Amino acid sequence: MFKLTAVSAGEKVYRTGAPVALETPLYLFEGESVSLQLNLFADYDYRNVSVRLVGGPVARATQVRRVGLVPAVLDASPWHDDYYEIREDHLYPDVLEKCNPLLLHGMANANQTLFLTIQDSDKIAPGKHKIIARLYDNGKYLTRATFEVIKLPARLPAQKWALTTWMHYDSFVDQHHVKLFTKDFYKLFTSYLEKAAIGGQNMLLVPLFTPAFDTQIGGERHTAQLLDIREPEPGVFTFDFEKTNEFIRFALSHGMKYLEMPPCYTQWGAKNAPKILVRDQKGRLRRRFGWETDALSDEYKDFLRQMLTALNANLRENGWEEISFFHVSDEPNLEQYDQYMACKNFIMPLIGKSRTLDACSHLEFAGKTDREYSVCVINTVQNYIDANVRPLCTYYCCGPVNNHYTNRFLSMPLPRVSVLGLQMFRYDMDLFLHWGFNFYNSMHSRRPINPYNNTDADAVFSAGDAFIVYPDYAGFGANASLRLHAMETGMRVARMLYLYQSLTSRETALAFLDEEGVTGLNVYPLEHGWLDRLTARLCEKIAEKLA
């Protein structure tokens, strides 16, 4: 006995248990993609089973990948709520790996899931398309599954907000053994940027010098410094932006729209300078600033004044000044307020029309101008909304873990990841930030880890917090994840809402969300399939307005 089941892309199919069959059509917009899953189950071991799609240009435009399982030691906080899918076996479907759908092998009584992504093209006509997935065993027909794709004759508006997830460049070295900023690096980087764009990312961290994120105090991460700095005489610095500009041009040509400069000061209090390498008078490359450097020392302030002045001139000359954001220090607390503000007030006059951007959850840190982006954790956003803070920016990381707030842990249902997009629309947010696109290290970067068997930074961060893509060793690139595509779904539904708003009114679009039960930052439906049904109803309303 063999079963083939079409399953929503928003459902996790575990090794055991019967998945729920897809209940709604897939809606495809011009220039977009849409995904679903096919689950294979047999009561015998099988070899050389093949899946073949029939359905004209839609079938030919479908990419097939296999959903792989990854382990989690710390799969949930003890304070988790009831909207998790915690497994006794601690195995979670997540990584999407290349596969040959014409040559599949599997074990008896265990699910094997394929992830199908349909990319729109001019060859796919608007209207309904019935797709048949046929299953064969050594050429013998076994069974089939069907699903429906409806293409709407409309383009979704561009994403309104900035979205950044920090890339960690030392992980490129550790996982792929590539020298940074070389030809091989850019080949690898292309794959990572492509995956970043899937999740709606349009802002990129530029490693002018090694970013001072999640580094043990007094410790170091692998150097990732683009900026060539020289000190021809004591206290006088020169700056060569050739490699920096090459990096920025490459990123902008691969879908990025905004630039983030690394923090000018260390994390958790802005007490010190980040690691910055400088060539001395003899041409020797040495660490010139670091943990031993006081953030507000005259020496470091003089260096920053020279560097930021030169950098801002370079950004302005290339037309990048107004798309650039500067970090001061990540996650200061109220005890560190005076230190943080002293550092921020020092750099603000030096960055021209660029903006500052930091995770600062306390309302006291909220900026007073539209050049100051203070990013609050999502369970404190209401404080910023009540205070009419703009720009309105949010993030999540190791928390929140409960009260149904969105996050992206491996043990969370995928709609809990996707709902972020609906909330970005509802509150008309300006920016979302996350710290870990590919943090393949233990906590505080004490050592590199293998992300395929260590998903929680040595059981410190809830599994899935530290990265949302996996290294593709064989393909010299990155593998996407179910959670990355859940982010894609959320961002796309938000863009559908903006399209619906343009066809009706903002009040009508918000009323639709109210009717669907998405009424707050942590108030939305929790039952199975709720996001698929919401999306289908929204697309039906859009289709009516387009008719």
135: its two tokens: 């299953």
SS3 23: coil
What is the pLDDT, as a whole number, of residue 46?
95
What is the pLDDT, as a whole number, of residue 192?
98
Residue 367 has pLDDT above 90, yes or no: no
- CB under 8 Å to 516, separation ≥6 — which residues? 525, 530, 534, 537
What is the pLDDT, as a whole number, of residue 215?
94
378: its two tokens: 């999502």
Q: What is the pLDDT of residues 233-265, one digit of tens each?
A: 999 999 999 999 999 999 999 999 999 999 999
DSSP 174-194: HHH---TTSHHHHHHHHHHHH
Which DSSP symbol is given to 103? S
Which DSSP symbol is given to 11? S
What is the pLDDT, as a whole number, of residue 169?
98
- Residue 104 and residue 112: Cα distance in Å, rounded? 9
Q: What is the pLDDT of residues 474-530, one digit of tens each?
A: 999 999 999 999 999 999 999 999 999 999 999 999 999 999 999 999 999 999 999
Global confidence as pTM? 0.98
122: its two tokens: 């001019």
Which DSSP symbol is given to 438? B
- Residue 403 and residue 309: Cα distance in Å, rounded? 45
Q: What is the pLDDT of residues 190-228, one digit of tens each?
A: 999 999 999 999 999 999 999 999 999 999 999 999 999
- Residue 368 and residue 471: Cα distance in Å, rounded? 41
- CB under 8 Å to 511, separation ≥6 — which residues? none
- CB under 8 Å to 1, separation ≥6 — which residues? 42, 43
Please answer whether residues 372 and 491 qualify as being in contact, where contact means their C-beta atoms are separated by less than 8 angstroms. no
- Residue 73 and residue 463: Cα distance in Å, rounded? 7
Please answer whether residues 66 and 114 qualify as being in contact, where contact means their C-beta atoms are separated by less than 8 angstroms. yes
Residue 305 has pLDDT above 90, yes or no: yes
Would you call 257 exposed, middle or buried from its count of C-beta atoms within 10 A (0-12, 13-18, 19+)? Answer: middle
Omega before residue 274 within 30° of 0, cis: no
- Residue 464 and residue 416: Cα distance in Å, rounded? 13
Please answer whether residues 465 and 398 qualify as being in contact, where contact means their C-beta atoms are separated by less than 8 angstroms. yes
Residue 96 has pLDDT above 90, yes or no: yes
Please answer whether residues 503 and 542 qualify as being in contact, where contact means their C-beta atoms are separated by less than 8 angstroms. yes
What is the pLDDT, as a whole number, of residue 368?
87
- Weakest-pLDDT range from 177-181, 367-371, 402-406: 367-371
Q: Report the relative pairing of strands 112-119 and 62-71 from DSSP bridges.
A: antiparallel
| Helical residues (DSSP H) of 169-264, grouped into ranges | 170-176, 183-198, 242-253
Query: What is the residue whose two structure tokens read 């639709």?
Result: 512
254: its two tokens: 């691969």
- Residue 189 and residue 186: Cα distance in Å, rounded? 5
Q: What is the pLDDT of residues 39-53, one digit of tens each?
A: 999 999 999 999 999
Pick from 197, 152, 99: which is nearest to 485 by CA?
197
Average pLDDT over residues 121-131: 98
Omega before residue 391 within 30° of 0, cis: yes
What is the pLDDT, as a whole number, of residue 223?
96
Pick from 243, 130, 118, 137: which is nearest to 180 by CA?
243
Whole-number percent of the chain with pLDDT over 90: 98
Separation of first and last alpha carbons in the chain: 45
Please answer whether residues 444 and 216 qualify as being in contact, where contact means their C-beta atoms are separated by less than 8 angstroms. yes
Neighbours of 281 (CB within 10 A): 10
- Edge to edge, what strands does the sheet with 236-240 contain? 236-240, 228-233, 276-279, 285-289
Q: Is 326 left (phi over 0), alpha (psi -120 to 50) or beta?
A: beta
Average pLDDT over residues 321-330: 98
| Mean of the per-residue pLDDT values of the chain | 97
SS3 387: coil
